[in-house]
Amino acid sequence: MQVTRILAVRHGETAWNRDTRIQGHTDIDLNDQGRLQARRLALALRDESLAAIYASDLSRARATAQAVADLQGQAVQTHPGLRERRFGRFEGLTWAEIEAQHPEEALAWRKRHPEFAPPGGESLLQLRERIVSTVQALASRHAGEQVMIVAHGGVLDILYRASTRLDLQAPRTWELPNTAVNRLLWSPEGLSLVGWADTTHLQDAGLDEQSA
């Protein structure tokens, strides 16, 4: 049975990341630090064999993927199914503002109730269904190959849980750094985890000299 190797990457940093504002489907671009992270990621992956590069259609993910695609001589294929969780009226607010303005909803969110959805947003159950089905559809096109998927923190969280068979309510003990490289395998039996949160390239200032 041939498997599909997946490089799953969270987009580079945005101003709202730095301000701890909830982004969701709000289309926020990379900040200067995020663009630097994307360039370092691209240089670190330049020798990887990638059959396809997929990204969320939100600009922060698309721009991160484009940095890699430019060095690979490929096009970025966008897919709305890779978007971040939709947070409805939480979008644009910080966690402190959500707690102050919507305390009951904030508590349900903190406890990770699978059925809870912010008004106008998605539940964790809906998010998991969307992400797992999207990734399965994309990965199934590339048996025996390696692909890259650039998405968002909530998406990567779902992929970690799916690949390790962890419940949606299990406390998170893993990190989701911007532009960290996460390696997964997909087969018709599901996802499995190979490596997580490799940020070696973010500490390598020599990559900046190469990009110059």
**Where in the sequence numbering do the catalytic residues fall?**
11, 84
What gap in Å lies between CA 16 and CA 211, rounded to an integer?
26
Q: How many CA atoms lie within 13 A of 48 on its CB side?
A: 22
Determine if residue 27 is left, alpha or beta; phi over 0 gives left, psi from -120 to 50 gives alpha, anything else beta: beta
What gap in Å lies between CA 168 and CA 171, rounded to an integer?
8
What gap in Å lies between CA 63 and CA 14, rounded to an integer?
11
Strand pairing class (4-10; 181-187): antiparallel
